[in-house]
Amino acid sequence: VQLQASGGGLVQAGGSLRLSCKASGIIFSIVAMGWYRQAPGKQRELVATFTSDGTTDYADSVKGRFTISRDNAKTTATLQMNSPKPEDTGVYYCNAAIKRTIWGRDDYWGQGTLVTVSS
């Protein structure tokens, strides 16, 4: 299984940016998928996730500004970042909990994509 992330870059505060993450490989089902981020000198933290039943969860700091969604095939997670703030700067990582067979599940991480929000 591979997670391919794209869409990072430089954005001005108050602008918008979209991150996408596509899962590929042998996949029986995707239990959950989402985005985490790590700012310099800080621990990795949850940004937004969704589960297979469509339930979403957001960090308090991004509620009302960021929206996570998935495509109809349910293999791509998109993070729409509206009105980003300089404190949203960091490396964003895609994460997915995937069942490759009917038994068990494994966690996968995509390569990080850098998001820089300028003031």
- In this prediction, residue 11 carries a pLDDT of 97
- In this prediction, residue 83 carries a pLDDT of 97
- In this prediction, residue 73 carries a pLDDT of 80
- In this prediction, residue 72 carries a pLDDT of 78
- In this prediction, residue 2 carries a pLDDT of 95
DSSP string, 42-81: S--EEEEEEETT--EEE-TTTTTTEEEEE-TTS-EEEEEE
Q: What is the mean pLDDT of each run of 10 residues along the chain (119 residues)?
A: 95 97 94 96 96 94 97 90 97 96 93 96
Q: Which position has the token pair 């869409």?
A: 7
